[in-house]
Chains A and B, each alone.
Chain A
């Protein structure tokens, strides 16, 4: 258990595995998995989320045990997706909530944004230089002439 993360080491590992299932690392290594950017600690430290996460981990561990593993994290990667899909029956809020929260955390991560070729920081005050438009592309519209409706 870290200072902020209320989970046990096993729970933290399980959560990291779930996050990596939701957004796995890119095969080319350019983008990390969601379990590798510290997002687990951030989510677990949120008091309104932790009970849901804890119950969800309990649910997926139980399903994993039915499949012969001791915990979700012990499952081979190929089996984890099926367990998460199955968890919706016993923990219906866990997976949808975690997917949304993972997306929110992942796509705000500075390293992820930079890897996508986007600015990591605030848009202001840098902004963007956009070239002036050559409005000769309006020529077909101009040739058509006025067409508003007079009462």
Chain B
């Protein structure tokens, strides 16, 4: 087994690993990032070919179990109504994400204080504010300043156009007097840092052929590499090892040829997100950490949070040109974000615009929902469906519950024989009520916007995009895995910088906050470098 030594090893080259690496690179430490996937070629993305809808549902599907690429590891999510979505590559899940890019809100960090549920975070909105701003510039965020649902903030680029579909649905919100605002989107709306502007291709969630979407292979990594960080693609970490003092001393990984390698490091940083991170920690059990590394609290892999999604779609009489423009970016609404005593549940949800689908997706979705039949009358029905669909997602806050877990599957392994994760998740009563409320209010909006029929799906099974809470942060080692700046309570030179450290989930897409946290942790390491392990 070959052996090398570096100062810092980062495991995972996705949203958080990239941001962290870029920030820490100014220390001139020797930093290596191990990533189980490879570099993507935009020319390989489905929108380069006429069969883009089929390829997007196959080799670029959001489920690793469907994709089955060599870079993917299988996930047993049979025991969950919400299935895991991710992508394994340099850029991680930002390759496939919609780039809907909200920040968390001030109240998200204080849900125990405000609503008496879950726990407060050990940090607050103000702590992350400068890092969101830094991340917005690095990723190239578009939007419109002045959203009354947020404290004042700047947005570097102009908003993506709403198009006819977005303007139609915005009209529904206006009709009801409800909040909406153009989304913050990690999409370049004009040329930005070498990225071409968005040309409204449509399906951002199968990879952006134009390079306008801010995946971290295009944003942070080129700059991090210029600063001296080394990315090693096709390297899958099996375990983190510890020395006699209980400090992490490196990792064992399989290289592109499947050969076992040893990399020693002074600092180990995990950036594998809410499923990959607990999987790695549990796979790193040793005599000193028999229940998994950094797991003396017993909380590694517990409190898994998704955002349960309700997809609510309207069928309109008029064509909406919904296939034009970024799939998941257009507008959001935070009208129902906060706890309302008039509702029989706590916390809330946000709405996110869903643009239309291609003809094949429209046909298959409509068939599955009984809106389209085969045989006589098919074309007449289809004429009222293709390019006549538009709607919203209700993204519901999911509260942490210890019984929602990531554990190791006793049988399933990946291509290197490493035990695979198993998901066990139950939709809570509170989440169910939020989904129902969100479905009803989205229906109101769509009808006010002119929809002749509304069809919903909740919880949306394939929507396990946001993976949070499985190595939560906190000040008390008995009740958290890492401290308020991502350092393991049990292993002082082990850091976690991804969605697994979230204490609560908020009700917005987490990527911007994950990256802000990664930048924050990197800054804390820089500030505390002289006594980092005290």
Contact = CB atoms under 8 A, between A and B. Distances in A.
Nearest to B203: A123
A66 interface: no
Contacts of B387: 117-118
Contact of B179 (A113, A121, A133, A147): A147
Contact of B374 (A23, A118, A125, A129): A23
Interface stretch (B144-152, B226-234, B453-461): B144-152
Contact of A124 (B48, B110, B167, B177): B48
Contact of A120 (B50, B113, B114, B379): B50
B75 interface: no
Contacts of B338: 149
B167 A151 contact: no
Contacts of A102: 374
Nearest to A24: B376
B55 to A, nearest CB: 10
B291 interface: no
B375 interface: yes
Interface size class of A (residues with CB under 8 A): 35 or more
A4 B283 CA distance: 49
A118 B199 contact: no
Interface string B152-188: 0000000101110011001101100101111000000
Contact of A128 (B105, B171, B200): B200
Nearest to A149: B107
Interface of B is mostly: loop
B106 A149 contact: yes
Interface string A119-151: 011111111111111010110111011111111
Contact of A26 (B167, B363, B379): B379
B161 A130 contact: yes
A14 B150 CA distance: 62
Interface residues of B, number: 67
B364 A100 contact: yes
A54 to B, nearest CB: 21
A122 B50 CA distance: 4
A110 B50 contact: yes
B313 to A, nearest CB: 18
A81 interface: yes
A22 B373 CA distance: 9
A100 B49 CA distance: 21
A21 B159 CA distance: 46
Nearest to A143: B148
18 contacts: A21-B374, A22-B378, A81-B375, A100-B364, A103-B367, A107-B359, A118-B358, A122-B48, A123-B52, A123-B209, A126-B199, A128-B200, A129-B200, A130-B325, A140-B177, A145-B148, A147-B148, A149-B114
Given A108-B54, A125-B199, A130-B161, 11 more contacts: A24-B379, A100-B367, A108-B53, A116-B382, A124-B201, A125-B209, A131-B161, A133-B159, A142-B148, A147-B148, A151-B106
